[in-house]
Amino acid sequence: MQTIDVALADRSYSIHIGANLFSRADLLVPHLPRPKAAVITNTTIAPLYLDEFLASLRRQEVEAIPVILPDGEQYKTWQTLNLIFDALLSKHCERSTTLIALGGGVIGDVSGFAAATYQRGMPFIQIPTTLLAQVDSSVGGKTAINHPLGKNMIGAFYQPKLVIADTAVLSTLPDRELSAGIAEVIKYGLIRDFPFLEWLEENMEALLRRDPAALGYAIARSCINKAEVVTADERETGERALLNFGHTFGHAIEAGLGFGTWLHGEAVAAGMVLATDLSVRLGLLPASATARVTNLLQRARLPIAYPDNIPADRFISLMAHDKKVDAGKIRFVLLKDLGHAFLSDDAPESAVRETLTQHTIAHA
C-alpha cells in the first residue's frame, strides 16, 4: 500500500493506493466518529462489491446502512440526491454518521454533496471504483450535481476524511470506462508533468492491458499531481483551475449530447484535442503538438473529435454556462508547451469557431 497525503491543515487526509484494500475496514474505522455508516453505491457496483464491503464493516462492529442508487451520469440530479436524504432520515442518521461513497465519479460527487449538506455536514469517505474517480474526482473535495444547462453547476467544496483507491477493483471495469479514466491521467502529463506524459507514451499498452505495476504507478503519479495542486489552491482561485484542461469543451459536449451519452473522460479527451488545437491557432504551440496529443489519445481508445450534431452556436452557448466563465468571458485552459498549462480569457471567438469546425465527427 502506498499512501499520499493531501495537506490542508485541519482538513488534511490520506489517499491509500493498493490492491485488495476496499474490504479493509480497519483502515476506515479510525476515521468514524461513531460506529455507524451509510454506504452509497449503485446498481452496477452493488452486485460486485457491496456484500463483501458491508461484511467487512460489520466485522469491525460498524452498523452499515446500504443505499443503492441508479447508475449513470443522467442520475446526477436533485432527485437522486433526495434518495440519499430519504435513506439517511429514515434510518435516523445523525451528523456523526459517516457517509461512504463506494463507486465511480457520479457516486462520489452526489454522495459528497449529500455529506456536505445533510445536517450541515457529516463525515465523508471516498472508495472510488473507477480509474477516473481514483485519479481525479475522489481527490480534492469537489462535490456536485448537474443542471440541464451545465455540468456540476450545483455543489460544494467538501473534503473527505479518507480516500481508498483499490487497484484490484479495476479488473471488473469495462474497457470503455478504463479508457475514460486514462483521459484524466493523460491530462496531468499535458498540464504540469511532461516526464509523466513521456512515461504514458511509453507505457500506454501496459495500462490498457491493466498491468498492475503500470496502473499503480499511473494512479499514484496522478494523485501526487492532484494533491499538490489542491494543497496550493483548495477552492480553485488560481492554479487548480488548470485541472480543467479540456473540460470547458468537454462539459459542453456532455451537455449538448445529453448527460450520460458520452462518458466524462471521453468528452474530456475530445476537449483536450480542441484545447490543444486552439493553443496552436493562437500561436502558442507548434502544429505537431496536436498530432502528438491526438496520437496518444487514439492509442488510449478515446475520441479525438465531437459529434457534428452540436452546432457551433449551441456549443459556444453551452461553454458560456461553464463554471469557469469570469466577468462574462469564457476562460480556457491552454498550453504554452506540452506540460505547461495556463488560463486565458482572450481567445477570439473566430479562433474557437475554427477549432470547433475542424474537429467534428458524424453522429450516429
236 is catalytic: yes
Q: Which of the residues 146, 187, 192, 236 is marked catalytic?
A: 236
Task: List CB contacts of 319: < 8 A, sequence separation 6 or more.
Answer: 248, 249, 251, 252, 325, 330
240 is catalytic: yes
Residue 232, CB-side half-sphere exposure with 13 Å CA sphere: 12
Q: What are residue 282's phi and psi, to 5 degrees?
A: -90, 5
Q: In DSSP terms, which residues pair with 361 in a beta bridge? A: 307
Query: How far is the C-alpha of 334 from the C-alpha of 343, rounded, in Å?
Result: 6
Q: Which of the residues 36, 142, 151, 324 is marked catalytic?
A: 142
Burial of 346 (0-12, 13-18, 19+ CB in 10 A): exposed
Handedness of CA 151, 246, 256, 74 (dihedral sign): negative
61 is catalytic: no
Q: Which of the residues 184, 187, 324, 331 is marked catalytic?
A: 184
Task: List CB contacts of 111: < 8 A, sequence separation 6 or more.
Answer: 40, 84, 99, 100, 101, 103, 124, 143
76 is catalytic: no
Q: Which of the residues 76, 187, 221, 264 is marked catalytic?
A: 264
184 is catalytic: yes
DSSP of 173-230: S-HHHHHHHHHHHHHHHHHT-HHHHHHHHHHHHHHHTT-HHHHHHHHHHHHHHHHHHH
73 is catalytic: no
Query: How far is the C-alpha of 112 from the C-alpha of 76, rounded, in Å?
Result: 12
Q: Which of the residues 192, 226, 323, 324 is marked catalytic?
A: 226
Q: Which of the residues 221, 240, 281, 359 is marked catalytic?
A: 240
247 is catalytic: yes
Q: Identify the residue whose cell numbers are 456549443.
A: 315
120 is catalytic: yes
Q: Which of the residues 247, 281, 323, 324 is marked catalytic?
A: 247
20 is catalytic: no
Give the 3-state secondary structure of residue 261: coil
Instruction: Tell me the three cell numbers of residue 325.
Output: 466563465
Q: Which of the residues 251, 281, 323, 324 is marked catalytic?
A: 251
CB 197 within 8 A of CB 160: no
Query: How far is the C-alpha of 342 from the C-alpha of 242, rounded, in Å?
Result: 6
Q: Report the catalytic residues.
A: 120, 142, 184, 226, 236, 240, 244, 247, 251, 264
